[in-house]
Structure 1
Amino acid sequence: MAILKQYKKSDGTTAWFYKLYMGKDPITGKERRTTRRGFKTKKEACLDLARLQLEIESKGLNNNSVRTYRELYNLWMSQHTLNIRNTTEQRVRNYFTNQILPSF
């Protein structure tokens, strides 16, 4: 079930948001909910809501593709290297490949 509402921002403009109950997580048994904000129109919010519901129906709730520590490390490193210098990247890569990943 989804809730679609309009709200007023601090600068005086209005925007739309929705809250969506996505179901229960099969692994943890906890309820999964999401809130998406910042849509300029109700139509934009409805379209994004429909897209998200379709994605949940097709892929399901648990769409984690990471299965190993190395996959998680590669995913994290690809994002982390955008914000660090080359020397730091080299140091972190060496530490992970020589110290952390072999122990797992």
Structure 2
Amino acid sequence: MRTLDSSDRTPSGYLPKTLPTIIHLTSRDGVKTVIKIGEPKPRVPKRSMSIVVIPGASVEDAIFSLPTIPTNAVYCSTGFGYGIQVLVPRSGIGDAVEEG
């Protein structure tokens, strides 16, 4: 029987993508997490609002920014001029969960 693991993080097969800006947050109880911010693409009219997405429990933020497909949700949104903010929740897959 195999154990459950996070996905393989080696860059094999990844398409080139612009890296998001990462903002580190610490909650009152000391749990650390991040928000990843994607800015609208250059030469695209900027929209007045941003999109905030939050992955559900037990998944990771990569569901919105898959590097293996040409146009993921982050690239689609920024391509239409929206800024996008992807919260990495403490209940998903990440360091906060691994640390308990």
State the TM bucket, normalised to the shorter chain.
0.3 to 0.5
Give the TM-score of the pair, scaled to structure 2.
0.32
RCO higher in 1 or 2 (8 Å CA, sep ≥ 6)? 2
Work out which of the two has the higher radius of gyration on C-alpha atoms and give 1 or 2. 1
- Higher helix residue share: 1
